[in-house]
Amino acid sequence: MAVTETTTESWGSRLGGSIRGVLIGLALFISGFPVLFWNEGNSVKTARAIDEGEGACISVDSNDKVDAENDGKLVHMSGKVDTKDVLSDDVFGISATAIRLKRNVEMYQWIEESHTTEKKKMGGSVEKTTTYTYKKDWSSNAINSSGFKEQGHDNPGAIEFPEEEKYAANVSFGAFKLSDKQIRMIGSSQDFVITNGFKCALPRVQIAGNTIYVPNGETRNNALNNRDVATQTRIGDMRVTFRVIYPHDVSVIAKQKGDSFIDYTAKNGKKLNYLENGIEDAASMFSTARTNNTIVTWLVRIAGFLLMFIGLSMVFKPLSVLADVLPILGDIVEMGMGLVAGLLALICALVTVAVAWIFYRPVFGVILLAIAGFFVWKLIQKRKAAKAAKAGAQP
C-alpha cells in the first residue's frame, strides 16, 4: 500500500521562502557564539571542581556506621543499597521489593513512512515527489493517524495503559539513607521475571515469557473473541514488560550530612554528587567524571558549530536559489556556498572557543587562535587563486 504525491514549487516561491529564512539563519548563527563561549567556561569550571573534589575527598572504609567527624566533608563509600519498600503496579498486579519498578508499554499501530525526491527544472522551480507507505508495528508512542495521506489506517489514539515508573521512598546504604536525587541515579535495571502461576490483575490477557499481551478494547469487550494476541496481533493490542532495580552494590561520592548525603559545592559553585553501580574506588569515579565532562564539552562544541553552519547555509540559500534558473548552475553555487558556510562556521567556532580559552585557559587559547588564523589565510589564498584563474581565462 502506497500513495504518491507530486507537488511543484515555483522559483518565486522558493526565493521568497529562502529570503524569509535569512533572519532565522542569522538567529541560529548568532546563537552559536554564546553557546560555545558558555560551554568552554562550564567545562573548565567543572574540571576544576572535580580536581578540588578529588583533593578534598575522604575514602571511608565502611558505611556500617555514621562517623560524625566526617559530617560536612566530601566522602567516598562503597556498599549495598537496600530497601524494604514494596513497589506495586495495581493495573497488572505486579509487585516487587525493589528500588525501582518501571512499566514499559508498546501498542500495535499503523506507521506512515515517507520518502521524498526533488527534481529541479529549468526556470528554478522544483518538483517534489513523495511516496507514503504504511506498515503495522509496535511503538511505545501513540501515533496520530488523523494526518495520514491514505485513509483506512486508523490508530486508537492514546495508549490505554501508559508507561509508569515508581521509586522506593526509603533506600538504605549501610547506616546511611540515600537522598531522592541519589535514588534516581541508581541503575543496573533488569527484566522483571514473571513466575509460573502468576495471575494478572487485568482480565483476558496472555503471558508469554516476561511479556503480558493485552488485547485491544474491542476484543476485551467481546467474551466470544479468544484470539491468540501474541500471534494474531491486531491494531490497538498492547504488549507490556517490566524493568526492575533490585538491591545491589554501589559507590557514592557526596557530602555527608548526618546519616544522609547532599551535593558538595566547590569554590566556583559547581556541585558534585556521584553514584556508580558496583564497587569503584574514588580515583576511578573521578576519572569517569572527567571523561563525562569531556564528552559533554565536545557534544556542545559540535552543536555550536552546527548552529553556525546551518545558520550560514540559510543566509546563503537565496544565492543558490537565484542560480537555480539553470539547475546545473544552482547545484554548483549551492556546493560552493556549502563549503564557504562550513569554513566560515569553523573559523567562527574556533575563534569563539579561543577567546573563551584566553579568558579561562590563556595558553590553549593562543594556540587555537593561531589555528583559526591559518584557516583564514587559506580562505584568502583560495579567493586570490579564483580571481587569478578568472583573470587568466579572459581574452
Is 302 a member of any domain?
Answer: yes
Contact between residue 101 and residue 129 where contact means Cβ atoms under 8 Å apart? no
- For the full predicted model, state whether its pTM sits above 0.85: no
pLDDT at 330: 75
Same-domain pairing of 165 and 218: yes
Is 35 a member of any domain?
Answer: yes
Helices (H) and strands (E) in the chain, counts: 6, 19
Same-domain pairing of 155 and 210: yes
Is 206 a member of any domain?
Answer: yes
Contacts of 250 (CB under 8 A, 6+ apart): 78, 79, 80, 81, 173, 186, 275, 276, 277, 278
Number of Cα atoms under 13 Å in the Cβ half of residue 65 = 3
Same-domain pairing of 151 and 88: yes
Is 154 a member of any domain?
Answer: yes
pLDDT at 388: 63
Same-domain pairing of 144 and 211: yes
| pLDDT, tens digit only, all 395 positions of the chain | 688 999 888 878 888 888 898 999 999 999 999 999 999 999 999 999 999 999 999 999 999 999 999 999 999 999 999 999 999 999 999 999 999 999 999 999 999 999 999 888 888 788 899 999 999 999 999 999 999 999 899 999 899 999 999 999 999 999 999 999 999 999 999 999 999 889 999 988 999 999 999 998 888 888 777 888 888 899 999 999 999 999 999 999 999 999 999 999 999 999 999 999 999 999 999 999 999 999 999 999 999 999 999 999 999 988 888 887 887 887 888 888 888 889 899 989 988 887 887 777 676 666 766 776 777 776 677 667 666 665 655 55
Number of domains in the chain: 2
Grid cell 584563474 — which residue? 389
Q: What is the DSSP letter of 276?
A: E
Q: How far apart are CA 134 and CA 110, in angstroms?
A: 7
Same-domain pairing of 209 and 144: yes
Q: What is the β-pairing status of strands 74-82 and 58-59?
A: parallel
| Cα Rg of the chain, angstroms | 30
Q: Among 191, 218, 246, give the residue marking a domain's end.
A: 246
Is 58 a member of any domain?
Answer: no
pLDDT at 100: 97
Residues spanned by the domain of 317: 2-53+290-384
Is 332 a member of any domain?
Answer: yes
Contacts of 354 (CB under 8 A, 6+ apart): 365, 366, 368, 369, 371, 372
pLDDT at 386: 63
Q: How far apart are CA 75 and CA 82, in angstroms?
A: 20
pLDDT at 326: 82
Same-domain pairing of 126 and 212: yes
pLDDT at 286: 97
Is 78 a member of any domain?
Answer: no
Is 7 a member of any domain?
Answer: yes
Which residue, among 380, 104, 97, 373, has the nearest Cα to 245 in the 3D structure?
A: 97
Same-domain pairing of 227 and 91: yes
Q: How far apart are CA 217 and CA 280, in angstroms?
A: 49
Same-domain pairing of 225 and 315: no
Same-domain pairing of 163 and 238: yes
